[in-house]
Chain A
Amino acid sequence: MILQMGEILIGFLVLAGSLISAVSAFGLIRLPDVYLRSHAATKSATLGVLFILVGAFLYFAFFLDHVSAKLLLGIVFVFITAPVAGHLNGRAAYRSGVPLKWSVQDDWAGELKERRANRATPMAKKKNIRQTNGDYSS
């Protein structure tokens, strides 16, 4: 009885994880620009992978009598690294000038332009580098 309940629970976990992953993959197609896509890719995909890994861990623990520490470590690593990867993707995209396709408000653009201007002027005078280097947004 308990084994059957466990089977159903594990099946539910794995199924939910794969459904969540499928929805987030659909989000990659549906959403309009890089930043919104990275929302879908970081959050829902992380949760989907976590569900599947937890399901696999429970399966090994209950049915094969094997506590797999590697799966637990995998969960922790995915949990830590996924938001950092999302942050880096978004930041690299913005700094190389990918525009926000839809935006209501953009506080960062002014600050970034000011910072670039401050940094570019003395360097350009000293080393004769092109001032527009890296500024694709204008």
Chain B
Amino acid sequence: MALQILLNLIIAFVWMFLYNDWSASRFTVGYLLGIICIGLLSRFWPHDFYLKRLWAVVKLLLLFTKELFISSFTVMWQIIRPRLAVRPGIFALKTELKSDWEITVLSCLICLTPGTLTLDVSRDGQTLYIHAMDIEDVNELSKQIKDSFERAIMEVTRS
């Protein structure tokens, strides 16, 4: 991925050299041209086209923002309800993610999902212990959400 970005920058600079024009607009045109070249030659690369991964990162950020909004409004609703009807508990979640970086991102995402908070990651990095605010209806639902999170993270790291 880094190699593709570097190549794209080099193409942009070659474009600027060809015109002997050192302006931002010329650089932008060269960069767009480089994107087209790399996209057309993508089958010669061992990895995928890097814009695809960039798009996955953007989707992850959007997911992050959306979940922050949903979760804080859920928590506020629980707070201002007249009767406190939460059923908190700690449950374990198996994860398929391997590297430290992926697990860190996943636990940050879980901390911001509706009514869940990561308490600990087990020593082997396979299990997350999560404190849930309302475990009865959240247990299944949060598994689904985390599947979507895990998928979104995997799209970024191993595409």
Contact = CB atoms under 8 A, between A and B. Distances in A.
A28 to B, nearest CB: 9
Contacts of B108: 80, 83-84
Interface stretch (A3-11, A61-69, A85-93, A120-128): A85-93
Interface in A22-67: 23-24, 26-27, 30-33, 35-36, 38-40, 42-44, 46-47, 50
Interface stretch (B13-21, B26-34, B75-83, B140-148): B75-83
Contacts, number: 113
Main secondary structure of the interface of A (DSSP, over half): helix
Contact of B75 (A27, A35, A106, A111): A27
B80 A35 contact: no
B133 A91 contact: no
A43 B119 contact: no
B84 A30 contact: yes
Contact of B76 (A24, A100, A109, A112): A24
Interface residues of B, number: 34
Nearest to A19: B76
Interface string A70-111: 000000000110011011001100100000101111111101
A23 B117 contact: no
Contacts of B90: 100, 103, 105-109
Nearest to B93: A107
Contact of B131 (A43, A47, A90): A90
A132 to B, nearest CB: 21
Contacts of A109: 90
Interface of B: 64, 68-69, 71-72, 75-76, 79-80, 84, 86-92, 107-108, 111-112, 115, 117-120, 122-123, 127, 129, 131, 133, 135-136
For the complex of A and B, list the 6 residue pairs with the smallest distance between their C-beta atoms, beginning with the closest. A83-B111, A105-B89, A27-B79, A104-B89, A47-B72, A107-B92
